[in-house]
Chains A and B, each alone.
Chain A
Amino acid sequence: MRIFYLKKYLLLSALLLIPYLVFAQTGSITGKVTDENKMPIPGATVTVVGSSLSTATGNNGEYTITGVKPGKYTVEAKFIGYITTQSIVMVSSGNVPVNFNLKPDSKGLNEVVVIGYGTARKKDLTGSVTTITSKDFNQGPITTPEQLIQGKVAGVQITSNGGAPGSGSTIRIRGGASLNASNDPLIVIDGVPVSNNTIAGASNPLSSINPDDIESETILKDASATAIFGSRASNGVIIITTKKGKSAALQVTFNSLNSLSNVTKEVPVLTADQFRTLVKADAATTGSSTQSTLLGNANTDWQKQIYRNAWASDNDISFSGGIKGLPYRLSLGYLDQDGVLKTSNLKRTSVALNLNKDLLNNSLKIDLNLKGTYSQSRFADQGAIGSAVNFDPTQPVYSGNSNYGGFYEWVSGGAPNTLAPRNPLGLLEEKWDLGAVKRSIGNIQFNYIFPFLKDLKANVNFGYDASHGQGSTSIPATAASAFASKGSYDRYSQDNLNYVSDYYLNYVKDIKSIDSHIDLTAGYSYQYFQNSAPEQDFFAADQVTSLNKQVVAYKNYYYIESTFARLNYTLADKYLLTATVRRDGSSRFSPENRFGVFPSVSLAWRINRESFLKDSKVISDLKLRASYGKTGQQDIDRNYFPYLARYTFGDNGSQYQFGNSFTTTLRPEGYDPNIKWETTTTSNIGLDYGFLNGRITGTIDYYSKKTKDLLADIPVADGSGLTNHLFTNVGNMESKGAEFAVNVVAMSTKDVKWKIGYNVTYNEITLTNLSKTGKNSTVPIGVGGIPGGVGNTIQAYLVGATPNAFLVNKQVYDANGKPLEGVYVDINHNGVSDAGVADRYIYKQPNPKFFMGFNSSVDYKKWTLGFSMRANLGNYIYNAFAASTGATAGFKFPNYLGNLSSSVLNTNFKTYQLYSDYYVENGSFLRMDNANLSYNFGKILKGKARLRVTGNVSNVFVITKYTGLDPEVQGGIDNNFYPRPRVFAFGLNLGF
């Protein structure tokens, strides 16, 4: 605020001076810019404030500004990593010498970072923590918070789940530490840990947060940083902080981003002519015209039929300021986004309010955050994506008659053939799948400084996250997909409620006598999670007639109760120690196994503070960190009482007839009375560095994670329990990896500022034990279902391999490199070279060995040009579509034809070779996520407003060898993927 007035004053004075200056002769200002060691600083910017006069210092740190009209000026010198310094000069004719001695800016290091239960100065951190603030967020049409930091942080892999509006992402921090328990990181928004549970009616729990309200995202990676969160922290933590109000005059910001999305690539399938040729050739060979007579005369590109150019508009307005010393920020947002798949749409209205109040002579601080969202979606039937690649291209879109809404369908016996794919456009247009979600997240936090002991603070935080989702799906009686039931209608609703209350004390003391700084936190936390849904009914298309079919109501809940403590100790501003301990109790476990204790310790050495580096010109920051700690995991999906002997009722479609009536069934559930915490031990060694006064900064980390007592859903000895698969503690998993990140200010002059960021991560996970008997099976547990036959899996859990590695047969090729149909390497040497299970081997994995992010932004005067790119290396992908349709068997189904993958032209396969490693393709890629250009008009409308306009392209290009649609598919099985569109966006940012 003060600066604001100062600027105004200076501006005013400058204006007042103008009349005196116009007629005078000009003079010059010269001088030298030096650092704290009196060494020259080259490349520093020296500006005459309020004018366009500016220059940069030379190699000797000297500068000259000429053409200065006589008068009184403020001159300032600026250099990255140093405090900007001003000097007031009187210029008449001739030269005025002004030298600047710049002091290093330790602000970067004094910067406060939000960590669990409090904040810490960046320089005091001993763990692996990265903060990305709004100025460094990804640009472009971003609708969910996690995409703001995609590719920005080493060790954090964010993979969007496809191109549907509001679609979520899979976030993996250091690859995840669990097998069947959740691998999602803990996400804390303004002190409220949010649920990873999806809510019916929305595609992604995070999509209800408006990215525009977010100030910063902090990622905690190693155990030292995460252990304070104890449980739920094994997979890392993301702390999201929203924007706050400032006690100042009203500021209004308006953002508008309008975009156009289109699909750039189709799944390679046979064209109508290629398909006709192939079917006819087959008929000629086999002498059977059964299939060829089914061919039509049309030439339909079904994929073109289901996709469209889609518009989206995202508008936000925010008000911030202070009323009578009460700082506030209020924002409103409205997003209306069409998906590229016809009929899909998302409308989201969001509101966020933030209030901060100081009371009792500033000893009590109250922060209030409230966020509310209402989102309405129409979900497109994504089955249309699979239908479009599989539907016979020789058939027309419309049949010419009025059956099935006019859409062409395969018919058999006077009804749609239930085995054939449905008309893709019919699937989309004859289904209304509508969802609406209300969500509110809020917290109130009290921070009280004890008047008798100023070093002691008490902190109380209450937070909640409540959402209600509801929706309905209706299919008209005309639709082929619901022909037998003559249409259908169902309604559903679901509620999620989580709340948290934290109480903690924080004591901070500088003990000068022993050159020590102590920061001690201890507290208690209680978190409660609940999700429930009422009984759900199904109706006929008239929406009244009940189909006497229900989904039973449910209500699930659990709580975590914790005590925790943390000590940060700094000696001589050089040697740092952090020790944390947290004791968590989860209601998921029996009272005997309820509590887990998760300690961590870490040490750091600020080497640059040592006398031998203190005066270094080159090294501005150097911190060596080492940490070791344990974290816990209890988040097993849909399993709230895994230790209890429970019975569940069946619904009214799973009853059994006794006499003339039907009896509801009551089933004992499998349980493990001894189930307990899964624990992950993480060791991390890292280095934070900064060179040339912070022009080059970054981190290097090496980590190793060992998980024991894995909560895994594994087969158990038949007859020993009440089910054949049980969630139990079994096995061990190890991962190790390395991260490197660097941020460089490549150029910093008066007109040009060029920033580059790069990070790379190596990660490798190995399953080291998966047996209760200690005798590890050589039989893999099949996972990763694939199309082309029910119950087929292509991936495996096998000890010694990465979880979800591919388990396939090794294809044999002919001299020309063409795969030989049905011929595979005889891995088990039994003399048979077929596609036997025993001949399958572990081949590659879906996780990348290396992943990296690269971004750059150049400011030139009022222009900014930026881009961000990501690359994954060593990730493999199973081309499920090619495998399940890449054989002529695909058009030999009774009474209908199905289109084939273009791969059949290369392989000439007659029958499916689902398990051939031919279909496991290298999915390494380089993707440009975004390129943007903006122009800052600065002040417009006589200084009443500021304007910035931006042009953006998202998903600019992908370079890959992968032959399918998109190599970036979470899980590594490419099937019916909602394409990520290329998006062109135009944005404007208006401030008042």
Chain B
Amino acid sequence: MRSTIFKRLAIVSFLLLTIVTSCKKDLTPAYDLTSVKVYADFANYKDVLAKLYAVYALSGQQGPAGKPDIAGIDEGFSNYLREYYNMQELTTDEAIIAWNDGTIHDLHNMNWNADNEFIRAMYDRIYYQISLCNEFIRQTTDSKLASNHITGNNLVLAKQYRAEARFLRAMSYWHAIDLYGNVPFVTETDPIGAFFPPQKPRATVFAYIESELKAIDGDLVAARQNEYGRADQAAEWMLLAKLYLNAQVYTGTDRSTDAITYCNKIITAGYTLEPHYANLFLADNNNSKEIIFPITFDGIHTQGYGGMTYLVHAPVGGAENPASFGINGGWSGIRTTKSFVSLFSDISGSSDKRALFFTTGQNLDINDPYAFTDGYLIAKYKNVTSLGAAGSDPTGNFPDTDFPMFRLADVYLMYAEAVLRGGSGGDLVTALSYVNLVRTRAYDGSLTGNITPTQLTLPFILDERGRELQWEMHRRTDLIRFGQFTDGSYVWPWKGNVKAGTTVANFRNVMPIPNTDLANNPNLKQNTGY
């Protein structure tokens, strides 16, 4: 008896010993893939590419939240598009926010500093995207593709993906120099880990973006020929046109002629204006022939608290009915200022359909920036289709509406502006016709809104861009290009933290480099004024 027990125990211990030793190996992740495995299988390439696009739309790897891409800020806030909106719109006449989140009011008050967490979140997001693109480009060089045995049609696709990654990186570098001026510069040739990216002048990075975009032109799919959601040549041309239009600001050299060149390429590519302005911002706007490059969203598959979830929910509240926006409730945050409202001669929306104001229960004047009822609402982005049906998410949280990052009407207005700025390759007659195409569509097909040649001036373009592209994240860049963002004559309520609005010092035309990065990267120098 005794010896059998002992024997059994000896057997058990021997088995345990075997288990123990068999587990003693170099562990590798169970469900995650190591980068070697990822790039050995071509099926993964598109998934990595999808992540690069999703960086603009989402906040992490779990919808709507749970596995954030970046830290240091609330995950919902950390979304690229949400912060891009905050930078480009909350700082302007177009938008003001009621919430009490950290230093968010400093954006509209134009008294931000280098500790502002939203300015930091934008910066971190831009460099997150640049790092991810670098990694994909690094892993898909011709030699890497060869060593991973990517051949035939896969090789063709891989080169397209790589070109798109370079496009996305160029777009984020554009955001970087537009917002922050002289910025850290890092490419696929740099290592990962303990190194400090050097800071490059704005003009140097400008030249890099330009060269990158020109270099990928041959690898990108022709305009309007790629899968929906993916960048094609027209997206690349649009980004070049935007760079050139703002070149005076970035480099001190006017490049209006180059802007016209690329506007022309897009215009001849076959895009057409959406017949009804409002439909551009609805749940089925993926059908639009006007949108050149969208950031896509879906109520079921692409869920997050940034991006369109923010743009649809945050401006809804007061007497508005959330159901008419296809959502379960508003977030009572964003309104607009009296200055922006005054860009419209008729705010009712019956003539110019772009006057999407909601005024019931709202005061035109903003006495209290924290009071949602102060300031008119703009009912622009909605999670309902053009036929009035609610989006796909049954809970009413996450919209299907895509964000029109680049669209044709913007190209028309850019063309006209570049011509007015003296660029060659275009003419005023064509410019007027393009502007009136935009205005005719705004007036729902009526020519009553058309302008005369004498009305076509640069100040008109700035206002028209405000009306046409309101809340589409162009406003700050436009105001800077027209000299009106900081110390120009144009002021709006609460600009400079004063109710009536006041000018601010022009160093605020660029944002500060966040203090967190200054502390972690000894190569960086703060922008003047901060």
25 contacts between A and B (CB under 8 A): A413-B329, A460-B13, A462-B13, A549-B63, A559-B24, A641-B27, A647-B33, A648-B61, A653-B303, A654-B58, A656-B302, A657-B229, A658-B53, A665-B50, A668-B48, A674-B194, A715-B516, A717-B521, A719-B127, A719-B184, A719-B185, A782-B117, A790-B74, A790-B101, A894-B317
Question: Is there contact, CB below 8 Å, between B31 and A649?
Answer: yes
Within 8 A of A (CB), among B311-344: 317-318, 321-323, 328-332
Question: Is there contact, CB below 8 Å, between A647 and B38?
Answer: yes
Q: Confirm or deny: A14 has a beta carbon within 8 angstroms of a beta carbon on chain B.
A: no
Within 8 A of B (CB), among A773-790: 773, 775-777, 779, 781-782, 788-790
Q: How far is the CB of B1 from chain A (nearest CB, A)?
A: 10
Of the 9-residue stretches A126-134, A414-422, A737-745, A811-819, which lies at the interface with chain B? A414-422
- Which residues of A are found within 8 Å of B115, using beta-carbon distances? 779, 837-838
Question: Is there contact, CB below 8 Å, between A656 and B54?
Answer: yes
- Which residues of A are found within 8 Å of B304, using beta-carbon distances? 654
By secondary structure, the B interface counts as: loop
Q: How far is the CB of B320 from chain A (nearest CB, A)?
A: 8
Known: A666-B47, A791-B74. A658 touches B101 (CB 8 A): no
Q: A646 CA to B371 CA in the complex, in Å? A: 46
Q: A894 CA to B332 CA in the complex, in Å? A: 8
Chain A 694-731 per-residue mask, 1 if CB under 8 angstroms from chain B, else 0: 00000000000000000001111111111111000000
Q: Confirm or deny: A485 has a beta carbon within 8 angstroms of a beta carbon on chain B.
A: yes
- Can you name 18 extra interface pairs (CB under 8 A) apart from A646-B33, A666-B51? A366-B9, A419-B330, A446-B9, A557-B30, A558-B27, A649-B31, A656-B51, A656-B57, A658-B230, A665-B54, A665-B61, A666-B38, A718-B123, A718-B520, A724-B124, A789-B100, A789-B101, A791-B101
Q: Confirm or deny: A693 has a beta carbon within 8 angstroms of a beta carbon on chain B.
A: no
Q: Confirm or deny: B71 has a beta carbon within 8 angstroms of a beta carbon on chain A.
A: yes
Which one, B196, B372, B395, B517, contacts A894 given CB within 8 A? B372
Question: Is there contact, CB below 8 Å, between B521 and A718?
Answer: yes
Within 8 A of B (CB), among A756-786: 771-773, 775-777, 779, 781-782
Which one, B190, B197, B373, contacts A718 given CB within 8 A? B197
Within 8 A of B (CB), among A401-419: 412-415, 417-419
Q: Confirm or deny: B296 has a beta carbon within 8 angstroms of a beta carbon on chain A.
A: yes
Q: A776 CA to B116 CA in the complex, in Å? A: 19
Question: Is there contact, CB below 8 Å, between B51 and A719?
Answer: no
Q: How far is the CB of A918 from chain B (nearest CB, A)?
A: 17
Number of interface residues of B (CB under 8 A): 116
Q: A648 CA to B521 CA in the complex, in Å? A: 28
Question: Is there contact, CB below 8 Å, between B62 and A650?
Answer: yes
Q: Confirm or deny: B387 has a beta carbon within 8 angstroms of a beta carbon on chain A.
A: no
Q: How far is the CB of B524 from chain A (nearest CB, A)?
A: 8
Q: Confirm or deny: A543 has a beta carbon within 8 angstroms of a beta carbon on chain B.
A: no
Question: Is there contact, CB below 8 Å, between A657 and B302?
Answer: yes
Q: Confirm or deny: B228 has a beta carbon within 8 angstroms of a beta carbon on chain A.
A: yes
Question: Is there contact, CB below 8 Å, between B323 and A484?
Answer: no
- Which residues of B are found within 8 Å of A3, using beta-carbon distances? none
- Which residues of A are found within 8 Å of B396, using beta-carbon distances? 484
Q: Confirm or deny: B525 has a beta carbon within 8 angstroms of a beta carbon on chain A.
A: no
Q: How far is the CB of A460 from chain B (nearest CB, A)?
A: 7
- Which residues of B are found within 8 Å of A668, using beta-carbon distances? 35, 48, 132, 135
Q: How far is the CB of B221 from chain A (nearest CB, A)?
A: 12
Q: Give the tally of cross-chain contacts (CB within 8 A).
A: 340
Q: How far is the CB of B421 from chain A (nearest CB, A)?
A: 33
Q: How far is the CB of B170 from chain A (nearest CB, A)?
A: 15
Q: How far is the CB of B132 from chain A (nearest CB, A)?
A: 6
Q: Confirm or deny: A399 has a beta carbon within 8 angstroms of a beta carbon on chain B.
A: no
Q: How far is the CB of A795 from chain B (nearest CB, A)?
A: 14
Q: How far is the CB of B15 from chain A (nearest CB, A)?
A: 10
Known: A719-B131, A720-B195. A554 touches B30 (CB 8 A): yes
Known: A559-B27, A653-B300, A665-B47. A723 touches B69 (CB 8 A): yes
Q: How far is the CB of A387 from chain B (nearest CB, A)?
A: 17
Chain A 930-968 per-residue mask, 1 if CB under 8 angstroms from chain B, else 0: 000000000000000000000000000000000000000
- Which residues of B are found within 8 Å of A412, using beta-carbon distances? 322, 329
Q: Confirm or deny: A7 has a beta carbon within 8 angstroms of a beta carbon on chain B.
A: no
Q: CB-nearest residue of chain B relative to A488?
A: B395
Question: Is there contact, CB below 8 Å, between A446 and B50?
Answer: no
Within 8 A of A (CB), among B154-193: 184-186, 190, 192-193
Q: Confirm or deny: A607 has a beta carbon within 8 angstroms of a beta carbon on chain B.
A: no
Chain B 50-83 per-residue mask, 1 if CB under 8 angstroms from chain A, else 0: 1101100110111110110111111011000000
* Listed residue (A551, A561, A652, A658) with the most chain B CB atoms within 10 angstroms of its CB: A658
Question: Is there contact, CB below 8 Å, between B302 and A791?
Answer: no
Q: CB-nearest residue of chain B relative to A501?
A: B20
Which one, A547, A557, A721, contacts B131 given CB within 8 A? A721
Known: A485-B394, A893-B332. A771 touches B520 (CB 8 A): yes
Q: Confirm or deny: B130 has a beta carbon within 8 angstroms of a beta carbon on chain A.
A: yes
Q: Confirm or deny: A298 has a beta carbon within 8 angstroms of a beta carbon on chain B.
A: no
Q: A415 CA to B321 CA in the complex, in Å? A: 10
- Which residues of A are found within 8 Å of B302, using beta-carbon distances? 653-657, 662
Q: CB-nearest residue of chain B relative to A366?
A: B9
- Which residues of B are found within 8 Å of A665, using beta-carbon distances? 47-48, 50-51, 54, 58, 61
* Listed residue (B27, B128, B328) with the most chain A CB atoms within 10 angstroms of its CB: B27
Q: How far is the CB of B212 from chain A (nearest CB, A)?
A: 16
Q: A717 CA to B193 CA in the complex, in Å? A: 9
Q: A772 CA to B370 CA in the complex, in Å? A: 40
Q: A80 CA to B79 CA in the complex, in Å? A: 69
Question: Is there contact, CB below 8 Å, between A713 and B71?
Answer: yes
Question: Is there contact, CB below 8 Å, between B47 and A484?
Answer: no
* Chain B interface (Cβ < 8 Å from any Cβ of A): 2, 5-6, 9, 12-13, 16-17, 19-20, 23-24, 26-36, 38, 44, 46-51, 53-54, 57-58, 60-64, 66-67, 69-74, 76-77, 99-103, 113, 115-117, 123-124, 127-128, 130-132, 135, 184-186, 190, 192-197, 227-230, 286, 296-298, 300-304, 317-318, 321-323, 328-332, 370-373, 394-397, 515-522
- Which residues of A are found within 8 Å of B26, using beta-carbon distances? 587, 591
Question: Is there contact, CB below 8 Å, between A660 and B228?
Answer: yes
Within 8 A of B (CB), among A542-592: 547-549, 551-559, 561, 587, 591
Question: Is there contact, CB below 8 Å, between B328 and A654?
Answer: no
Question: Is there contact, CB below 8 Å, between A652 and B301?
Answer: yes
Question: Is there contact, CB below 8 Å, between B329 and A415?
Answer: yes
Question: Is there contact, CB below 8 Å, between A792 and B102?
Answer: yes
Q: Confirm or deny: A672 has a beta carbon within 8 angstroms of a beta carbon on chain B.
A: yes
Question: Is there contact, CB below 8 Å, between A561 and B24?
Answer: yes
- Which residues of A are found within 8 Å of B197, using beta-carbon distances? 717-720
Question: Is there contact, CB below 8 Å, between B298 and A775?
Answer: no
Question: Is there contact, CB below 8 Å, between A653 and B516?
Answer: no
10 tightest Cβ-Cβ pairs between the two chains A and B: A653-B63, A418-B329, A777-B519, A725-B71, A666-B47, A718-B127, A659-B227, A555-B30, A717-B521, A719-B186
Known: A654-B304, A665-B54. A791 touches B9 (CB 8 A): no
Q: A788 CA to B100 CA in the complex, in Å? A: 7
Question: Is there contact, CB below 8 Å, between A419 and B23?
Answer: no
- Which residues of A are found within 8 Å of B36, using beta-carbon distances? 645
- Which residues of B are found within 8 Å of A552, using beta-carbon distances? 31, 62
Q: Confirm or deny: A640 has a beta carbon within 8 angstroms of a beta carbon on chain B.
A: yes
Q: How far is the CB of A709 from chain B (nearest CB, A)?
A: 14
Q: A778 CA to B302 CA in the complex, in Å? A: 39
Question: Is there contact, CB below 8 Å, between A663 and B521?
Answer: no
Q: CB-nearest residue of chain A relative to B187?
A: A719
Q: CB-nearest residue of chain B relative to A640?
A: B29
Question: Is there contact, CB below 8 Å, between A548 and B9?
Answer: no
Which one, B185, B194, B323, B515, contacts A414 given CB within 8 A? B323
Q: A779 CA to B520 CA in the complex, in Å? A: 11
Q: CB-nearest residue of chain B relative to A666?
A: B47
Known: A446-B13, A526-B20. A722 touches B397 (CB 8 A): no
Q: CB-nearest residue of chain A relative to B117?
A: A791
Question: Is there contact, CB below 8 Å, between B397 and A649?
Answer: no
Question: Is there contact, CB below 8 Å, between B77 and A790?
Answer: yes
Q: A791 CA to B73 CA in the complex, in Å? A: 6
